[in-house]
Structure 1
Amino acid sequence: MNNHLCHWSALTILGVTGIAILNAAPVIAETQDFEVLPPTIEISSENADVLTDVQVQATESGLVITFETTAEALPAVTTTTVGDRLIIEIPDVILSLPGENIVEVLQPTAEIESVQISPGENGGGRIVITGLTAPPMAAPQLTGEQLIVEVTPDESIAENLELVVTADATADATTNSYTVSEATTATRTDTPLAEIPQSIQVIPKAILADQGVSSLDDALRNTSGVLQNSADARGQRFVVRGFDSASVLRDGFRPTFGFSGNIGYPELANIEQVEVLKGPAAILYGVSEPGGVINLVSEKPLSEPFYEATLELGNRNQVAVGVDLSGPLNEDGNLLYRLNALYRNSDYYRNFNVDLERTFIAPTLAWQIGDRTDLDLFVEYSADQRPYDTGLVAIGDSVADIPFDRNLSQLDDINEATYWRTGYEFEHRFSDNWKVRNGFNYIAYNTIFESSFTLGFDPTTGDLDRSYIQLDQPSSTYAVQTNVVGEFSTGAVDHTVLMGVDYIHRNQSGNNLRGFGPNSSFTQNIFNPVYGTVPRPDFETQPIIRFGDTYINAVGIYLQDQMDIGDRLHLLAGLRYDTVSQRVVNPTSLAETTQNDDAFVPRLGVVYRPIEPISLYTSYSQSFAPNSGTNVDGDTLPPEAGEQFEVGVRAEALEGALVTNLAYFDIRKNNVATSDPDNIGFSINAGQQRSQGIELDVMGEILPGWKIVANYAYTDARVTANNDGQAGNRLINSPYHSANLWTTYELQTGSLKGLSFGVGVNYVGDRFGDLNNSFSLGDYFLTNAAIAYRQDNWRAALNFRNLFDVEHITGTRNNRFEVYPGEGFTLLGTLAVEF
């Protein structure tokens, strides 16, 4: 009780302090800040004026770009228009952007698609402003020590452009900000985060780069209430708000479907940001768990040339080389490309003879077909090899007391996987207010593994009875989405309406399982393992066990209305109808079993902004997922149904540079399958699970150069109704308390300008490894650190993860024989060079 009181006291103090800081922040009336960059000090040039402290603000007539400047007069500049772009070239100046050398703001207003501030090709500076349907107009004025560039789509602006700016010598593809202003995962529209009535956290690439992150589980430590659960070679599973199997999306598309789980280990080399939407997301994404969804948003081609090469070296013989290339393919600039490619190899962190190896390539084309029409084409391919690691085992009420790097299978157990993803995104704007989007994804995934299956375990002697098996699991997924987005007004209410339909087809071929035959069984002792006593059999001689071929078809139709009543009140209402059919064909008899489910799922939300930096919100949403098992009459059970109530406050400080989100949630998952007490061997949908808790997320820049990511989650997730003796038990791998902190500081002045230091900690409280709560996974506290140096066109960094080599368990597969230990001490050196 005292420990809980301490945790609640700490949370209260942190929350009150955060709100107090945010309320102290100044408010700028009638403007919206899109990029706030701290000033750079000690910049000198004998022959050029200097521009620093870039800000982009929306106004009623367009937008304003503001610089701090040393200029006393406005020199002449050249301007050109290419398609819908206005290009302002500023010679003989120095453009100073702290830490990075490109600032890009997407869709700052309804009429302006993007603003990019960067060095010019021959020195000096360049501002590229892209209009939605035509090139905008711009005019500068010098006011005291500020240069103000007014941008408007109205041709009444004067055409004489004179400007002063400064520039670093290089260009980078991304900003270095820890915060973003918009995300599409929550609404499938370009909605400011401050107007979304549901908790959503966005992890931009700048955070991943500073932390040296290359895996999704490490990236997700930057948001509250998300944990990796299992991590077998076929794919990761994540717990969000206490519920397992959160869907991992790619650009809003699901690589797999519902009860099929996630596939593989996603590559982050071409990911711009990771968006985590907490709570039910069925309104837009259909079948899903009620905890939330994780969306990986891909990088887009750039309008300016960008070339970067990266080299990584680390302990466990880790080496990785990668390139990121982008720019225009023609003089008109309406055909852009981007190419991400990577090769990575390292030893595994446990005792296996199989390396971790990945080859990845992802080309993308962006074609501006006309003033109102865009088409993006993409391909991704990866080939992976990794050990098939079944982890450790539990004895009694805890994980077996053996070294965490010990292999309990065979040294050459292996998983090989190939992944193809291809498709397109098409958008056509009928007018300034109406547009249609259509997207298609095709994913082919095949994994073949040779491993050791557990037949039995004697905890007294430590003997594991196992059998060699080989499993081939090919699958393919086709998905199509079409959305129409329209903006209009009814009286004092401004509407943004989304109407859409999506279709997904998944085919998983019958698993070709070989094993359990002659010369395939062996015994492994966990206290004294001996490898290779029984040679791996020729699997062609082993019996074949084929499961049924599975075909899934799902169609969803949805309608959503975002209503703005003035600047302070924002309403959200949506409704979706889903129908899902599953057909399983026996490969031998060709007999079929079918399951059909449908559901209506709503979402309602309200955001009230008493002052511009503060958003108070509440929402109600539902989820839906087909059930498993049959009742005594042979009928499939009705689908699971989740529902969430959430209230929260989102606050921005320091003109949007620091963002805080505090949320309370209550999720109930109904119709969970449980044993029929009157009919042994059958199920009824009388089970229920519930998760409630509080989450706090803080992210951004406190002072120039000082950045922070901090989060805390209190989660009480448990079984509330069940006929299997589990009522009252906590859900798998769901601790009461978890917290993460990461903070960096980069020197802003002096001879060591560009040198930065970072430190972080990860805490996960005690958890249970199965629904029976028969064994504990323990708690853990990890420490991370970094030192980096950024100069001109290169960056070097050293990242230290799990600095003190703490043994810890990340999760399980809801059984006592697959308990997954986390990585030990990891050192990673990175050198990135831009050309």
Structure 2
Amino acid sequence: MRTVAPVISWQIGDRTNLKLSAEYINISGSNGQMGLPARGTILPNPNGKIPLSRNLSEPFDKDDVELFRIGYDLEHKFSNNWQLRSVFEAAWLEQDRVIVFPLGLEEDNRTLQRGLTRNPIDARNITLDNYFVGKFATGRIQHQLVAGFNYTRTEQESFERADARLDLAPIDIFNPVYNQPLGEPSGDPFEGEANSNAYGFYLQDQISLADNFKLLLGGRFDIANQRIVNNYPTDGSAQQEVFSPRVGLVYQPIPAISLYATYGQSFRPIINVFEDGTISEPERGTLYEVGVKADISDRISATLAFYDQTRTNIRTEDPNDPLRTIQVGEQNSQGIEFNIAGEILPGWNIVAGYAYTDARISKDNSFPVGNRINGVPEHSFNVWTTYQVQEGSLQGLGFGLGLFYQGDRQGNLANTFQLPSYLRTDAAIFYEHQQFRAALNFRNLFNINYYESAFNINRIFPGAPFEVQGTVSWRF
């Protein structure tokens, strides 16, 4: 992989700052990893255990990707109370993917049926966000107003060649033989192009009714349209118009304690991927949250939050076709989150968090209501602490240690298998002096075997083994 990402910041004047950025990424011939079957990894297999380093794909499974992105970030202060920010980005993507995917493990628990697909994509994306921030008063009431407009346009061309879907010879997961012959094409090829435009208008006012009581009122109006032209019997087009409100309250009984409550709705159009010639329904969300933020000291603060979130039209893998997606009717998540961060002693910092999450399907026609959402643990926590020498000949030398825990997670929405819990340990050694910084980061310090995610019962993805990453940087 080759990456170039220059950034230029220009202080045009006392009140104006412009940042220009660009990025170029080229990935050529990166071999894929389609995952491992559950039987032989997290589930028993009479033939034994599959080595987690095994790749059941083929040498021609690869991603050829070329991405170019440019943009700017402009800030201008008209006065101490009013400012404008404008952010723009344009991106071009060309991707030629050759993907081997599993179709199922046979009754002998060692022969894996496979398929192959090739799906070139040419995509372009433009985003623009302009907004004003202003502070003013109406009598004794203080206001902080945010008003803005954003626009996103996406264009995508995609096609599958006549030989894009091929049957591939099966592979023995315990004694793999690669460079297997290709079979006959299966499925119908398609080609198409899609474009979408999304316009968002938003307004928010944070109102200070008193020194210790604030009210937030806001809303967003979205207009999203899509058009699809493809080789299915019919083309598709649709337009959605949605208003999403937001309300929040903050009350401070004492300066160190803030009690808050918030309610909001969200809207996200989903770009079609030429699956059946129809427009996907937009993803919608509703969030209720209450919490408390406490400044334990002038250097340490903690937050405790309780939330209830409902989302509709979530995309997930089609259980009948691993290359397609379907939309789940409704998912609901309820939980508690606790976070603490700050400096315990000079040079000794800590960031820690715990989350309890009850995430389930609440409405659907494909999966049982009440099933847990795949990939979401009921319990998780993390802690990362660093210490940096403050004086003497070792001043600037630092050490870091972290623990990351994920509880059991469902492997699919049908809840037919689970990914086991794990506790991973990371560490770091770093040195800072003026503009110079060098670091060694150690991930999975004790080289434990664990599983990060799953697409289905035949695609389990192990976590990375012990690895070391070194970085050197200089700040101008």
TM tier, smaller:
0.7 to 0.9
1:819 aligns with 2:463: no
Partner Cα separation in structure 2 for residue 459 and residue 704 of structure 1 = 61
Residue in 1 that maps onto 2:135: 487
Partner Cα separation in structure 2 for residue 812 and residue 688 of structure 1 = 21
Residue in 2 that maps onto 1:187: none
Contact (CA 8 Å) 1:467, 1:515: kept in 2 or not?
A: no
1:735 aligns with 2:377: yes
Q: How many residues align?
A: 458
Contact (CA 8 Å) 2:411, 2:453: kept in 1 or not?
A: yes
Match of 1:619 among 238, 262, 275: 262
Match of 2:411 among 759, 762, 769: 769
Shift of residue 398 of structure 1? 4.1
Report the residue type matching 2:172 in the other structure. Answer: N
Match of 2:94 among 446, 452, 457: 446
Residue in 2 that maps onto 1:326: none
| 1:796–1:561 CA distance, 2 compared to 1 (3 A) | closer
- The Cα offsets for residues 730-752 of structure 1, whole Å up to 9 and x where unpaired, read as 00101110111111222334443
| 1:831–1:380 CA distance, 2 compared to 1 (3 A) | closer
| 1:440–1:625 CA distance, 2 compared to 1 (3 A) | closer
Superposed, which structure 2 residues align to 1:754-833 within 5 Å? 754-791=396-433, 794-813=436-455, 815-832=456-473
- The Cα offsets for residues 313-342 of structure 1, whole Å up to 9 and x where unpaired, read as xxxxxxxxxxxxxxxxxxxxxxxxxxxxxx
Contact (CA 8 Å) 1:549, 1:587: kept in 2 or not?
A: no
Superposed, which structure 2 residues align to 1:162-173 within 5 Å? none
Shift of residue 695 of structure 1? 0.7
1:599 aligns with 2:246: no
Match of 1:419 among 51, 67, 72: 67
Shift of residue 776 of structure 1? 0.9
- The Cα offsets for residues 789-812 of structure 1, whole Å up to 9 and x where unpaired, read as 445665444332111111111112
Contact (CA 8 Å) 1:673, 1:687: kept in 2 or not?
A: no
Shift of residue 753 of structure 1? 3.3
Shift of residue 641 of structure 1? 3.0
Partner Cα separation in structure 1 for residue 307 and residue 128 of structure 2 = 32
Residue in 2 that maps onto 1:571: 215
Q: RMSD across aligned C-alpha pairs, in angstroms?
A: 3.3
Contact (CA 8 Å) 2:37, 2:105: kept in 1 or not?
A: no
Report the residue type matching 2:225 in the other structure. Answer: S
- The Cα offsets for residues 207-257 of structure 1, whole Å up to 9 and x where unpaired, read as xxxxxxxxxxxxxxxxxxxxxxxxxxxxxxxxxxxxxxxxxxxxxxxxxxx
1:658 aligns with 2:308: no
Task: Give secondary structure in 2 for the equivalent of 1:510.
Answer: strand
Residue in 1 that maps onto 2:200: 556
Contact (CA 8 Å) 1:397, 1:775: kept in 2 or not?
A: no
| 1:388–1:748 CA distance, 2 compared to 1 (3 A) | same
Partner Cα separation in structure 2 for residue 408 and residue 490 of structure 1 = 67
Report the residue type matching 2:302 in the other structure. Answer: T
Partner Cα separation in structure 2 for residue 614 and residue 459 of structure 1 = 61
Report the residue type matching 1:698 in the other structure. Answer: I
The structure with the larger Rg is 1
Partner Cα separation in structure 2 for residue 406 and residue 446 of structure 1 = 29
Residue in 2 that maps onto 1:525: 172
Superposed, which structure 2 residues align to 1:312-323 within 5 Å? none
Contact (CA 8 Å) 2:7, 2:19: kept in 1 or not?
A: no
Residue in 2 that maps onto 1:509: 157
| 1:723–1:627 CA distance, 2 compared to 1 (3 A) | farther
Task: Give secondary structure in 1 for the equivalent of 2:5.
Answer: strand
Task: Give secondary structure in 1 for the equivalent of 2:414.
Answer: coil
Match of 2:352 among 704, 707, 710: 710
Shift of residue 382 of structure 1? 1.8
Contact (CA 8 Å) 1:649, 1:662: kept in 2 or not?
A: yes
Partner Cα separation in structure 2 for residue 435 and residue 635 of structure 1 = 42
Task: Give secondary structure in 1 for the equivalent of 2:375.
Answer: coil
Report the residue type matching 1:823 in the other structure. Answer: A
Superposed, which structure 2 residues align to 1:310-349 within 5 Å? none
Contact (CA 8 Å) 1:604, 1:619: kept in 2 or not?
A: yes
Please state which structure has a larger fraction of its residues in strand: 2
Report the residue type matching 2:458 in the other structure. Answer: F
Report the residue type matching 1:547 in the other structure. Answer: E
Percent same amino acid at aligned positions?
Answer: 39
TM-score of the aligned structures, taking structure 2 as reference length:
0.86
Superposed, which structure 2 residues align to 1:35-50 within 5 Å? none
Partner Cα separation in structure 1 for residue 281 and residue 236 of structure 2 = 16
Partner Cα separation in structure 1 for residue 256 and residue 64 of structure 2 = 49
Residue in 1 that maps onto 2:288: 645
The runs of 5 or more residues in structure 2 that have no matched partner are 317-325
Report the residue type matching 1:486 in the other structure. Answer: G
Match of 2:339 among 689, 697, 700: 697
Partner Cα separation in structure 2 for residue 565 and residue 409 of structure 1 = 62
Contact (CA 8 Å) 1:798, 1:829: kept in 2 or not?
A: yes
Report the residue type matching 1:803 in the other structure. Answer: L
Report the residue type matching 1:809 in the other structure. Answer: Y
TM-score of the aligned structures, taking structure 1 as reference length:
0.51
Partner Cα separation in structure 2 for residue 437 and residue 419 of structure 1 = 26
| 1:391–1:609 CA distance, 2 compared to 1 (3 A) | same
1:404 aligns with 2:52: yes
1:378 aligns with 2:26: no
Contact (CA 8 Å) 1:628, 1:637: kept in 2 or not?
A: yes
Task: Give secondary structure in 2 for the equivalent of 1:739.
Answer: strand
Report the residue type matching 1:485 in the other structure. Answer: V
Contact (CA 8 Å) 2:131, 2:147: kept in 1 or not?
A: yes
| 1:611–1:724 CA distance, 2 compared to 1 (3 A) | same
Residue in 2 that maps onto 1:140: none
Partner Cα separation in structure 2 for residue 672 and residue 789 of structure 1 = 44
Shift of residue 596 of structure 1? 1.9
Shift of residue 783 of structure 1? 1.1
| 1:493–1:426 CA distance, 2 compared to 1 (3 A) | same
